[in-house]
Amino acid sequence: MYNLLKGKKGIIFGALDENSIAWKTAERVHEEGGEFVLTNAPVALRMGQINALAEKTGSQVIPADATSLEDLENLVEKSMEILGGKIDFVLHSIGMSINVRKGNHYTSQNYDWTQKGTDISAMSFHKVMQTLYKKEAMNQWGSIVALTYMAAQRVFPDYNDMADNKAYLESIARSFGYFFGKEKTVRVNTISQSPTPTTAGSGVKGFDGFLAYADKMAPLGNASALDCANYTVAMFSDLTRMVTLQNLFHDGGFSNTGVSDDVMEAFVKGLE
């Protein structure tokens, strides 16, 4: 370990169980010397195993529904109290589509569910940043990261309304990142991660095929949750201080590959 985050304090959203990308990130941040508060929606706290993670990393847990400004204000205030000062890093690792969960096709949405999913998966990022911004809660050169997926740029039919939510999320990162950079010297980026076997990931229809296809396409194969945690640590560290307003592909090269020999071989075999 490199002590990359020694002395830094943060908030990590979205660790549900040990498969969660946020869970792996919390473990890696801890190993790198960072201190943090863990948070998740009250219902997820009841279902998940976050207390084990809190114990392992010496962290406290503060419940917050990321769609509730009241919860977020309480979270930010309490976090500064617990950590004894302003925040250096924040991970937004939150996503949920009710249309996906209930099996509604993209062309047959229930718009109440669409709105709820957008609020949870994208607008919550604006709410988190607005709360941090108004409360002057971020230290200079702090780093805010949200996790996203390439369906924001290209069509993945079964990703459903989450594709639209991710496009909105990435736009919020740029738009809020401008003001956070200019006014507070804080950077904001999204990391566009490979398909990863987690609770949220596995909810996407045909996920196993999706995972295998991406793995065969990417020259380096799929990036794991641990790889994503490592990249996030780098983005929280002082080694990436001038990176902001970016959507950073972390996918083993998938996003720039037209076709791979492995995929072509499997396709041709299917034709025989």
Ligand X SMILES: NC(=O)c1ccc[n+]([C@@H]2O[C@H](COP(=O)([O-])OP(=O)(O)OC[C@H]3O[C@@H](n4cnc5c(N)ncnc54)[C@H](O)[C@@H]3O)[C@@H](O)[C@H]2O)c1
Distances (CA, A) of 257 to 152, 156, 216, 219: 17, 15, 11, 8
Candidates 9, 20, 91, 142; binder of ligand X (CB under 6 A) is 20
The answer to whether residue 12 forms part of the interface with ligand X (CB under 6 A) is no
DSSP string, 34-78: -EEEEE--HHHHHHS-HHHHHHHHT-EE----TT-HHHHHHHHHH
Shortest gap between Cβ of 251 and ligand X (angstroms)?
9
Give the number of other CB atoms < 10 A from CB of residue 31. 16
Q: Which is nearer to ligand X, 6 or 56 (CB)?
A: 56
Distances (CA, A) of 168 to 80, 87, 102, 229, 265: 29, 25, 22, 23, 36
Binding to ligand X (CB under 6 A) within 118-157 occurs at: 120, 147-149
Q: Is 20 annotated as a binding residue?
A: yes
The answer to whether residue 72 forms part of the interface with ligand X (CB under 6 A) is no
The answer to whether residue 40 forms part of the interface with ligand X (CB under 6 A) is yes
The secondary structure of residue 237, as a DSSP letter, is: S
Q: Which is nearer to ligand X, 199 or 260 (CB)?
A: 199
Q: How far apart are alpha carbons 58 and 219 in whole angstroms? A: 38
Q: Is 94 annotated as a binding residue?
A: yes
CA angle 76, 65, 125 (to 5 degrees): 70
Candidates 57, 109, 114, 196; binder of ligand X (CB under 6 A) is 196
Binding to ligand X (CB under 6 A) within 219-248 occurs at: none
178 is catalytic: no
The answer to whether residue 195 forms part of the interface with ligand X (CB under 6 A) is yes
Which uninterrupted H or E stretch holds 140? strand 138-148
Q: Is 14 annotated as a binding residue?
A: yes
Q: Which is nearer to ligand X, 33 or 221 (CB)?
A: 221
Whose CB is nearest to ligand X?
A: 201
168 is catalytic: no
Q: How far apart are alpha carbons 121 and 235 in whole angstroms? A: 21
Residues 111, 149, 178, 231: which is the catalytic one? 149
Candidates 12, 41, 90, 128; binder of ligand X (CB under 6 A) is 41
Q: Which of the ranges 181-189, 195-203, 216-224, 239-247 carries the binding residues for ligand X, by CB under 6 A?
A: 195-203
Residues 133, 159, 178, 231: which is the catalytic one? 159
Binding to ligand X (CB under 6 A) within 46-65 occurs at: 65
Handedness of CA 109, 248, 28, 227 (dihedral sign): positive
- Known catalytic residues? 149, 159
Residues at the annotated binding site? 14, 20-21, 94, 166
Judged by the rule CB under 6 A, the positions of this chain that interact with ligand X are 13-14, 16, 20-22, 40-41, 44, 65-67, 93-96, 120, 147-149, 193, 195-196, 198-201
